Amino acid sequence: MNHRDSTVLITGASSGIGKDFAETLAAQGANLILTARSVDKLDALAGDLRARHSIRTDVIGADLSVPGAAAELVGEIDKRGLDVDFLINNAGFGTHGDLADADPTRISSEVALNVAALTDLTTAYLQLMTARGSGAIINVASTAAFQPVPHMAVYAATKAYVLSLSEALWWEARRNGVRVLALCPGATDTEFFDVVGSDDAAVGARRTTRQVVDTALDALAAGKPSVVDGLLNKVSANSPRFAPRRMVLAIAERAVRPRG
């Protein structure tokens, strides 16, 4: 796919996978709309990408876990006269530990960001892309989407939603010229585990953000409904289909069991 002169909206763009999407697409000549809570980081990234690639880069600070924030973001983009050709819903976070011990406010924010904001942005831009007859959406799910994960129950459930939604929309949208992809990374070298608050949630060797982004863009170009990044991650994501459910739960629980 040729992204030159297209406009790409990337959520969670200040670090990790979102930042690498921005750097990769800027190098291909795409114009960017970058959003995250960390405006200082976004401004630094935007300035660097403008200087190196002579592209337009807009920065919009937003906390998408706040109700109504996605609609405000869409409104601000519209006010600036920008048309989004490619949406990358990358913003999200996880929590680690039993739900019985969790902070209810933190859990509510997790669902709001991982599910509600992603759905709101997908709905808004899928409708506009459908009217134009072209566009692309990548929704970042996870290998956690393929089975329930005790101690990360809410996170895995939100990512199962993202995977299911995106694959269904792939079917709905393809006849209208719009591509939709669910990207399912495993453990990746990002700040994700700093936010989670524990490395116990990491399963397997960490892949680089560049590997994840390359996997995603190749799969999008190939017209796939979903993709798992990394061979070992593909094996672990598909194996739960062939095992008894209790065994799947026991293996998943052991993999992310809090130590100490």
**Cα–Cα distance for residue pair 38/18, rounded to 1 Å:** 13
* Residue 257: CB atoms within 10 Å: 11
Q: Identify whether 159 is a catalytic site residue.
A: yes
The values of phi and psi at residue 64, to 5°, are -75, -5
The values of phi and psi at residue 206, to 5°, are -80, 135
**Cα–Cα distance for residue pair 3/9, rounded to 1 Å:** 12
Beta bridge partners of 7: 31
Dihedral sign for Cα atoms in the order 248, 189, 93, 75: negative
Specify the amino acid at residue 126: L
- Catalytic residue, chosen from 19, 125, 155, 161, is 155
Q: Tokens 């011990």 sit at which residue?
A: 101
Q: Tokens 């790409």 sit at which residue?
A: 8
| Strands of the 178-184 sheet, one edge to the other | 57-61, 31-36, 7-11, 86-89, 135-140, 178-184, 226-228
**Alpha helix segments (H runs only) across the chain:** 16-27, 39-53, 69-79, 104-111, 118-132, 153-174, 192-196, 209-221, 231-238, 245-256
Closest listed residue to residue 217, CA positions, set 46, 24, 83: 24
Q: Identify whether 234 is a catalytic site residue.
A: no
User: What's the full length of the chain, in residues?
Assistant: 260
- Catalytic residue, chosen from 125, 159, 161, 224, is 159
Active-site residue set = 155, 159
